[in-house]
Amino acid sequence: MTHAVRIHSNGGPEVLQWEEVEVAEPKPGEAIVRQVAAGLNFIDVYFRTGLYKVPAFPSAIGNEGAGVVEAVGDGVTEVAVGDRVVYCMSLGSYTQRRLIPAKQLVKIPRGITEEQAAAAMLKGCTVQYLIRQTYPVQTGETVLFHAAAGGCGLIACQWLKHLGVRVIGTVGTAEKADLARAHGCDHPIVYTEENFVDRVKELTDGRGVPVVYDSVGRDTFNDSLECLQPRGLMVSFGNASGAVEPFAPALLAAKGSLFLTRPTLATYTATRADLEKTSADLFGVLSSGAVKAEVNQTYPLENAAQAHRDLEARKTTGSTILLTGV
């Protein structure tokens, strides 16, 4: 029997329940994956709390996993039984085995483990679209990346450094500043000790930066606008501190004809071609060693509630995975 972590209602970490579930036989276009690991991401918290809606209760949560294909339905051409695969943005990864549309699966290249893939797929593909598509960075530019010691942040610092970009990053502690610096962040700012707007202006001789990548949300949004150059781009891609409060668009004009976007990975990987392109770029920098997929915390899948508590308390750094034990 397969076990999964499911929710029967929205709420705190205590609503995450370890339960027996059945996995149906694959229909045409589907595959069964025996999962080695599931990635832990803040979007999981959004689904648990109800900020993002699950289709129905009870529901498995989690949006990223890696494992081995055990069975495929008719017409599946993307993967075969025995392939090592990874996926993201497919709700229901907190499980030992699952049914999933085969078109959402990507083969894991040699040299990358299932654990590394589960740690890097969602965060790495997010970084890919942020720095290669939403705002394609250029060598010599300076950018501001919030939560630089987080899962996306550590990957972004490495990748941006590889591309010749100067990285300013915000972190919550001196220890996290050291971690971000070790991964390519040129100027980590401990936001609990100094004003990041003043520091960004100091580091850019008063000019500001052309782009801010912000997954924090409410607590950093307004000050992030102050860090932008005229006609700069605010990339708001998360709500770790809560949703941004509504504001009048005229504010963007007053701050220097700024641009604002609220992108999601689901949009950037909506087609099979986009998914393959984005993941291939990620696997390229992982395979070359330019970016390392580091797993800084692991929990048994059945302890997902504790993993959520630690994530929300900002006790984690980098990537965290949940091990299924199968």
Whole-structure pTM value: 0.91
Sheet of strand 59-60: strand arrangement: 17-21, 2-7, 59-60
What is the amino acid identity at position 53?
Answer: K
Residue 319 has pLDDT above 90, yes or no: no
Q: What is the CATH number for 307?
A: 3.90.180.10
Task: Kindly write down the DSSP assignment for every residue of 29-75, as one continuous string.
Answer: TEEEEEEEEEE--HHHHHHHHTSS--SSSSEE--SEEEEEEEEE-TT
Q: Give the separation between CA 169 and CA 147, rounded to whole angstroms.
A: 7
Work out the mean pLDDT of the chain and round it to a whole number: 96
Per-residue pLDDT tens for 180-205? 999 999 999 999 999 999 999 999 99
Least confident of 17-26, 30-39, 238-247: 238-247
Per-residue pLDDT tens for 84-142? 999 999 999 999 999 999 999 999 999 999 999 999 999 999 999 999 999 999 999 99
Q: Give the separation between CA 155 and CA 71, rounded to whole angstroms.
A: 33
Contact 117, 56 (CB under 8 A): no
Q: Give the separation between CA 306 and CA 310, rounded to whole angstroms.
A: 6
What is the model's pLDDT at position 126?
97
What is the amino acid identity at position 124?
Answer: G
Q: Are residues 130 and 55 in the same domain?
A: no
Q: Are residues 72 and 148 in the same domain?
A: no
Which band of pLDDT confidence, cut at 50, 70 and 90, is reported for residue 314?
A: confident
What is the model's pLDDT at position 243?
86
Contact 65, 33 (CB under 8 A): yes
Q: Are residues 153 and 26 in the same domain?
A: no
In a domain, 13, yes or no: yes
Q: Are residues 20 and 102 in the same domain?
A: yes
Of 265, 283, 305, the residue that ends a domain is 265
Count how many domains the chain has: 2
Q: Provide the domain limits for residue 81.
A: 2-112+293-323
Burial of 111 (0-12, 13-18, 19+ CB in 10 A): exposed
Reduce the DSSP state of residue 77 to 3 states and report it: coil
Per-residue pLDDT tens for 147-191? 999 889 999 999 999 999 999 999 999 999 999 999 999 999 999
Q: Are residues 69 and 185 in the same domain?
A: no
Contact 35, 67 (CB under 8 A): yes
Tokens matching residue 235: 């990339």
